Amino acid sequence: MKKVLVVDDSQSIRNEVSDALGPAGFNVLQAADASEAFACLAKHQDISMVVLDVNMPGMSGIDVLERIQRERTDQVPPVLMLTTEAERSLVERAKKAGAKGWLLKPVKPQLLVSTVARLAR
Amino acid sequence: MTLENDRTNARVAELAAESCVALWRDYAVELTRASYDPDAAGDEPMLFGAIGFAGEMLRATCLLGAHRRLLQASGRADNQPRDWIAELSNQLMGRLKMRLLGCGVTVKLTTPLALSGIKLRPLPRMVQSPLSYQSALGPVVVWLEVESETGFVLGEERPLSVTPGDLVF
């Protein structure tokens, strides 16, 4: 079962992602902020995909993405941004940092599942 | 603050009003504009998401409020109402930010917070009054206080190529 890490400061969004991906056969891990995300990535080297919010307290999702790419030189999991942000400069920055997708909230569960299924390694 | 600012601020509030209706519709809640009477709500607590944005010449603070039963009915997953209203306020400001981007204005969002209260009573500020709505499960209120610097004019809105729910890439 592929592991997907969802990083969002909203418990409701983490639950929504889990409810969508779980029945589709993914094992969903949750992190509420950057430090929990990095701890989870260190513990689970076999994570297949990261679903990442942008607007979070402390370190932003873009900062998290850039650090994942910088520090995990072995096998970096694909990252899908899931956010309310549509600002072009942020989208371009995420693309440059290696994000594989950018989904705008509120996401339809079917679109989330099909996107994760397509991008997960 | 000039009359021009008043008009600009009122226009931002109207963009927020449209964004609010569209946001709740995406969660299967239909809103109609209504007057808000804090006393009519009795002692039932309301939950609020508080969030702000700031740009070069424009900034705002926003409170989005609803009763617990509406919040519990509107989420797609099992949610905690305090967390959910904070997330909804984040999504509301995300939508408003997109509309402002279409007007050529870039702002940065703060992260949302939640609070609760009974009979909260905002004061109308300048020409802006709180926006209020009615739904089948109770009222929704949006209190948006906009400040723009003298001389700031919101450009004509051009629709963006993306809308909420889209896969951008």
What number is the average pLDDT over the span B8-32?
94
pLDDT reading at B55 higher than 80: yes
What number is the average pLDDT over the span A87-104?
96
Q: Please, which residues have CB within 8 angstroms of residue B38's CB and are 6 or more apart in sequence?
A: B119, B120, B121
Continuous H helices in chain B: 3-26, 68-74, 81-102
pLDDT reading at B36 higher than 90: no
Residue among A111, A76, A69, A83 at smallest CA distance from A7: A83
Indicate yes or no: CB of B83 within 8 angstroms of CB of A11.
Answer: yes
Structural domains of chain B sorted by starting position, each given as residue range(s) with its CATH number in brackets: 3-148 (3.40.1550.10)
| Min Cα separation A87/chain B (Å) | 7
Asked if A96 reaches chain B (Cβ–Cβ under 8 Å), the answer is no
Tens digit of pLDDT for each residue in B91-118?
999 999 999 999 999 999 999 999 999 9
Tens digit of pLDDT for each residue in A37-89?
999 999 999 999 999 999 999 999 999 999 998 887 678 899 999 999 999 99
Continuous H helices in A1-121: 11-21, 34-43, 61-71, 88-96, 109-119
Cβ proximity of A65 and A98 under 8 Å:
yes
- Cα–Cα distances (Å) from A86 to A64, B35, B101, in that order, read 18, 32, 9
pLDDT at A102: 98
Tell me the count of A-B CB pairs closer than 8 A: 93
Candidates B71, B74, B90, partner chain A, best to mutate (most A CBs within 10 A): B90
Indicate yes or no: CB of A84 within 8 angstroms of CB of B163.
Answer: no
pLDDT at B125: 66
In a 3-state reduction of DSSP, which class is residue B87? helix
Q: Work out the mean pLDDT of chain A and round it to a whole number.
A: 95
| Min Cα separation B89/chain A (Å) | 11
pLDDT reading at B169 higher than 90: yes
Give the residue on A whose Cα is nearest the Cα of B110.
Answer: A55
ipTM of the complex: 0.94
pLDDT at A93: 97
Give the residue on A whose Cα is nearest the Cα of B92.
Answer: A84
pLDDT at B126: 61
Strand partners, B65: B48, B141
Residues of chain B in contact with residue A11, where contact means CB-CB under 8 angstroms, are 79-80, 83
Structural domains of chain A sorted by starting position, each given as residue range(s) with its CATH number in brackets: 3-119 (3.40.50.2300)
Predicted TM-score (pTM) of this structure: 0.94
